[in-house]
Amino acid sequence: MKTRQQSLFAKWTKSFVVATGIAVTLAMMPIAKAADPIKIGFSMTLTGGLAAAGQAALAAMKIWKDDVNASGGLLGRSVEFVYYDDATNSSKVPGIYAKLINIDKVDLVVSSYGTNLIAPAMPVVMRKKMVFPSLFGLAVNERFKYKNYFQIMPAGPEPKLDWSRGFFTLAMAQNPKPQSIALLAADSEFAKNAVAGARAHAQSNGLKIVYDKTYPPGGTADFTPIVRAIMASNADLVYVGSYPPGSVGITKAASELGLKAKMFGGGMVGLQYAGIQTNLGSKLNGIVNYDFWVPASTLNFEGVDTFLKKYQAAAAGGKIDPLGHYLPPYAYAYLQVLGTAVNAVGKIDHAAIGEHIRNNTFDTVVGPVSFAPNGEWANTRTLQVQFRGIKDNDMSQFENEGTRVVLYPDSVKNGDIVYPYK
């Protein structure tokens, strides 16, 4: 039979064990939570019209994830991606981001590729007040005015105008100055935004607009009638806002018909891709077009060569851009900015992360990046490059400095324009 002292001791021992177990469990709970991966969610153009670009972007993003996890992750936690194919279909984007945020419970989000796929995500992300790094959207935030939107494309603080500013700076520096311009845009948000800026520059420079039309966003079977109409206008300058199918068709038609203009190009997406460059070959010569990175001593930022070697190894034998000069470095960089800010803040706090991004400069593989109040780059670095000495059926030539001569801006220029185009 237990004595009173024995009973009290047994009760005390039981209470101590229970309390200790609870304390140990509670102490371990934050540790278990801290070990959970940080989930970054996004949609991407993995099929559809922008599939080649989206797949290249995803390859670059995976390289960043592997690099950051190899160096300890974010906040001491590994990083995982949760992503879905938006099929280059803007109507799918809101549902994808709603699922990412509300069902998958991702910690962070970034955008898909391109203006038309970024804009539909904005209302969903804004409602949750999440930071939204964005991949190549032109003037998306002009109507949303969201303070936690950050665009990695180096358009500049006035994106519609900064996009084509270099083209017109170069044109109006020629002697004699051009007098007229033809404007052509795909009937899509990006292309129309690009040409809207070009139109404003044309008007402010006193250029006569002799042609100003759009074409269906998917392109047409034959661009010959369009180029013939542009040629009939006798425009000195031809500025085009187009997606890859249109860019290829317009370039081929211009070459075959012998377009004679003093400058031709401007905002043609696709002429930056190795496969398209190889396909078009010598037809590219003389075109002045935007770009964001090319092999040039003036653009040899710390880490970009290492990144490109990893990307090209990943792309070898696949169906994505084998060189990766255009989009992939920026797909890596927008995650660099986000990851650096998260580690600097020390927790997943979107208000604090947004504040940190707004007020700091970030070292990335595309150089130093800082943002204006509207989330665009604080200073434009939209390149204008001119294709020179391009031969047919030779992809390797595009790895060399000089095949795309950087004409603008002056801070990274490595050559002067050959004028006129033809």
Q: What is the pLDDT along the chain (422 residues), one digit of tens a residue?
A: 444 444 544 454 444 444 444 444 444 444 435 579 999 999 999 999 889 999 999 999 999 999 999 999 999 999 999 999 999 999 999 999 999 999 999 999 999 999 999 999 999 999 999 999 999 999 999 999 999 999 999 999 999 999 999 999 999 999 999 999 999 999 988 999 999 999 999 999 999 999 999 999 776 779 999 999 999 999 999 999 998 899 999 999 999 999 999 999 999 999 999 999 999 999 999 999 999 999 999 999 999 999 999 999 999 988 899 999 999 999 999 999 999 999 999 999 999 999 999 999 999 999 999 999 999 999 999 999 999 999 999 999 999 999 999 999 999 999 999 999 97
DSSP secondary structure string for all residues of 131-159: -EEEBS-SSTHHHH--TTEEE-S---SSH
3-state secondary structure at position 358: helix
Q: How far is CA 94 from CA 90, 101, 126, in A?
A: 8, 11, 12
Could you give the count of Cα atoms lying within 13 Å of 406 in the half-sphere of its Cβ? 22
Could you tell me the CATH superfamily of domain 159-297+381-408? Response regulator (3.40.50.2300)
Q: How many distinct helices (H) and strands (E) make up the chain?
A: 14, 14
Between 189-204 and 159-172, two packed helices, what is the crossing angle to 10 degrees? 50
Cα–Cα distance measured from residue 126 to residue 327, given in angstroms and rounded to the nearest whole number: 25
- Element containing residue 236 per DSSP (H, E): none
**Rg value, the chain, Cα:** 26
Question: Which residue in 62, 46, 65 sits closest to 54, CA to CA?
Answer: 46
Structure tokens given for 49:
């019209």
195 φ, ψ to 5°?
-75, -25
If one counts every other C-beta atom within 10 angstroms of the C-beta of residue 282, the result is: 14
- Element containing residue 194 per DSSP (H, E): helix 189-204
User: Looking at the whole model, is its pTM more than 0.85?
Assistant: yes
DSSP character at residue 293: -
pLDDT of amino acid 205: 98
Burial class of 163 by CB neighbour count within 10 A (0 to 12, 13 to 18, 19+): buried
DSSP character at residue 290: E
- Element containing residue 170 per DSSP (H, E): helix 159-172
Cα–Cα distance measured from residue 326 to residue 23, given in angstroms and rounded to the nearest whole number: 54
Is 35-158+300-369 a domain of CATH 3.40.50.2300? yes
pLDDT of amino acid 392: 97
